[in-house]
Amino acid sequence: MTESTRIALITGASRGLGLVIARVLGQRGYGLVIGGRDRDALAAAAGELSACAPAVLPVAGDITDAQVRANMIDAARQLGGLNVLVNNASQLGAIGPLMAFDVPRFGQLFPVNVGAPMVLTQLAVPLLSERRGLIVNITSDAATAAYPGWGPYGATKAAFELLTRTLASELREQGVSAVLVDPGDMRTRMHQEAFPGQDISDRPLPEVTVPFWKWLFDQDPDAVRGERFAAQHEDARWLQQV
């Protein structure tokens, strides 16, 4: 590792979309801090990523745990700083109509999907500001469309989108940018858990988003500040949603 090595922190990186993003960054020479709740899956991911990244530090645990978040920031500091923060960890659960939704469950969804990534961002900004870094917050089209059954999850992502746009404005003077990325519908474990027993093989694997991530990480962070992107668009020139 050298002082010029770029560093990225990716939550929810033990599998699925988070692992795909980590692969892209590792192949571009980033040192990686990766988080995930499944310790064994995270260790396997770290082993794979070590073949391409100059350094990989896995931090196992729940993102809502303050000590886990502190450990992630400490790991980034150990590697030398932070250029990119990807807030990917999220919780969906089984979908269903609002009239049958157990409203107290908001107390589980919002801490994972909104609260924890915001606190992690607060901890990361001092490091990001030293390198004019980029915050990438993963969202969903459920934040902007009223899909039956997806209301609670969509509500958390809608809140996350507003906070991200506000961050993009507030952090300008600190040299930190923030963007939103909607990866689109994908064949992941989280999506399978939302449809227990159903066949979701018609959905693409998270690898379909690789061209987008390669494009995004080539951009000047300040040039994409506050934008929202659709990662499955076929042409990178039109990824920006207006």
The residues annotated as belonging to the active site are 153
CA atoms within 13 A on the CB side of 59: 24
- Print burial letters for 169-190: b (CB count within 10 Å at least 16), e (below 16): eebeeeebbbbbbbbbebbbeb
**SS3 breakdown of the chain: % helix, strand, coil, rounded to 5?**
50, 15, 35
Other residues' Cβ atoms within 10 Å of the Cβ of residue 48: 15
Cα–Cα nearest to 12, from 43, 40, 34: 34
Q: How far is CA 49 from CA 7, 56, 160, 240, in A?
A: 14, 7, 29, 29
34: tokens are 């990766």
d(CA 13, CA 11): 5
Interior angle at CA 102, CA 99 and CA 106, nearest 5: 115
